């Protein structure tokens, strides 16, 4: 029994340390009751873990506004038909987001149309 204590202790500690690693941030920063349609030019499509992002430049009456649109992980987007080349800098896109609650220029991706007018991979 004494020899098994270090093993049992190791297993218990491993589970205790693994739980925080599996945690994920909440989507509470986004307002799911509101949708904004952004029309602009892709500055950058970041195909990165844990989340992909689209940096979209929107022309407004007061000038250019940059929006940061959060998406799922590359593996999730791949399953929905996205590729890291789906959007390229300079592409025109129309993207619908649930905006940030604090009014910042950001949101979470809901759907979109690419430069060819076709739905972006996995759009609803």
Q: Is residue 52 part of a domain?
A: yes
Model confidence pLDDT, tens digit, residues 70-109? 999 999 999 999 999 999 999 999 999 999 999 999 999 9
- Domain holding 108: CATH number? 2.40.50.140
DSSP label at residue 92: E
Classify residue 84: in a domain, yes or no: yes
Q: Is residue 118 part of a domain?
A: no
Does 14 map to a domain?
no
How far, in Å, CA of 33 to CA of 83, rounded? 29
* 24 within some domain: no
pTM for the complete prediction?
Answer: 0.76
SS3 107: strand
Contacts with 90 (C-beta within 8 Å, 6 or more apart), sequence order: 41, 42
Q: Count up the domains in the chain and report the number.
A: 1
């Amino acid at each position: 029994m004494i020899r098994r204590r270090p093993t049992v202790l190791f297993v218990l500690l491993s589970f205790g340390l693994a739980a925080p690693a599996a945690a994920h941030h909440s989507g509470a920063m986004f307002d799911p009751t509101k949708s904004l349609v952004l029309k602009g030019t892709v500055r950058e499509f970041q195909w990165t873990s844990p989340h992909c992002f689209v940096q979209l430049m929107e022309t407004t009456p007061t000038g250019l506004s940059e929006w940061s649109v959060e998406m799922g992980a590359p593996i999730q987007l791949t399953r929905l038909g996205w590729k890291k080349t789906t959007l390229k800098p300079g592409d025109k896109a129309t993207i619908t987001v649930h905006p940030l609650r604090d009014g910042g220029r950001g949101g979470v991706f809901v759907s979109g149309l690419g430069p060819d007018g076709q739905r972006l991979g996995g759009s609803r």
